[in-house]
A and B are shown apart, each in its own frame.
Chain A
Amino acid sequence: GAVVSQHPSRVICKSGTSVKIECRSLDFQATTMFWYRQFPKQSLMLMATSNEGSKATYEQGVEKDKFLINHASLTLSTLTVTSAHPEDSSFYICSASGGGEKLFFGSGTQLSVL
């Protein structure tokens, strides 16, 4: 099956720094990518949807200036958490769609902000 690679799997950073998370579709062209956030013992919450070459669409309550999403190619999307604070600590997951039947997910990134 199709593979979505997400990197890094775990990151620890100091408060105020920025962190970039990469999401790559390895064997298909991902015209649309989705970014989710998951807090402990909760379900996945959609943060934003990005289409290749255009600006991301953010869900209500998600700060677009804090969570910068770039989808510059059909195989790569990045999420940058700018000026991270402890409350941004969470499990971030990307998913990718080539417009077909299935949506594939990355393995997730555990962000811990000290």
Chain B
Amino acid sequence: DAKTTQPTSMDCAEGRAANLPCNHSTISGNEYVYWYRQIHSQGPQYIIHGLKNNETNEMASLIITEDRKSSTLILPHATLRDTAVYYCIVRVMGYSTLTFGKGTMLLVSP
């Protein structure tokens, strides 16, 4: 079973920030937090990952709580093309697979 808990769905207005929460209270010390998204009928797309520190790239920011039991993915200025299912996954870096939960369906509206 997936080790993360995410809301089933969220709505966001275009141009506003989308904040997607994720709980991973049983995360181990060597597990990273990964975020992927899947646009309908496509393969998952990597967004960002982190271990302890907050991370930012051209797509998003990842905020991880100090106790590492939860995190938030932030899309700073959501566009219609950001409508997708967002998956929060914990994974040991290296050769291990990704176990997908149900994810959060983010709907960005005009």
Q: In the complex the two chains form, what is the Cα distance from A43 to B102 in whole Å?
A: 6
Give how many A-B residue pairs fall within 8 Å (CB-CB): 55
User: DSSP majority for the A interface?
Assistant: strand
Q: Which residues of B contact A (CB under 8 A)?
A: 32, 34, 36, 38, 41-46, 49, 87, 91, 93-95, 97-103
A101 touches B43 (CB 8 A): no
Q: Which residues of A contact B (CB under 8 A)?
A: 1, 4, 6, 31-32, 34, 36, 43-46, 49, 91, 93, 95, 97, 99-108, 110
Given contacts A108-B41, A110-B41, contact A43 B98 (CB under 8 A): no
> Which residues of chain B come closer than 8 Å to A95, judged between CB atoms?
43-44, 97-98
Q: Which residue of A lies closest to B49 (CB)?
A: A101
B46 touches A102 (CB 8 A): yes
B43 touches A106 (CB 8 A): yes
User: Residue among B41, B49, B91 with the most chain A CB within 10 A?
Assistant: B41
Given contacts A32-B95, A99-B94, A99-B95, contact A43 B43 (CB under 8 A): no
Q: In the complex the two chains form, what is the Cα distance from A4 to B43 in whole Å?
A: 10
